[in-house]
Amino acid sequence: MALTPEGLSALADEARRWAGHKERLDARLYRLLDLAREASALKHPLDREAVEKALLAREERFGLEEELYLKDLEEGVVALEVQGMQVGEINGLVVVEGPLPRGRPVRITAQAGPGREGILSIDREVGLGGQVFHKAVLTLAGYLRGSYASLGALSATVSLVFEQSYGGIEGDSAGLAELLAVLSAISGLPLRQDLAVTGAIDQTGRVLAVGRVAEKVEGFFRVCQTLGLTGSQGVVLPKANLPHLTLRKEVVEAVAKGRFHLYAVEEVDQAIELLFGRKAYWVHDKVREVLGEFRKMENGEENPSP
Catalytic residues: 173, 216
User: Any residues with CB less than 8 A from the CB of 165 and at least 6 apart, and which?
Assistant: 106, 123, 128
- Rounded CA gap, 38 and 266, in Å? 41
| Strand order across the beta sheet in which 195-197 lies | 118-121, 157-162, 102-113, 89-96, 195-197, 234-238, 261-265
Q: E strand or H helix at 96, and its extent?
A: strand 89-96
Q: With contact defined as beta carbons under 8 Å apart, do 214 and 244 qualify? A: yes
CA-angle at 237, arms to 234 and 243, nearest 5°: 110
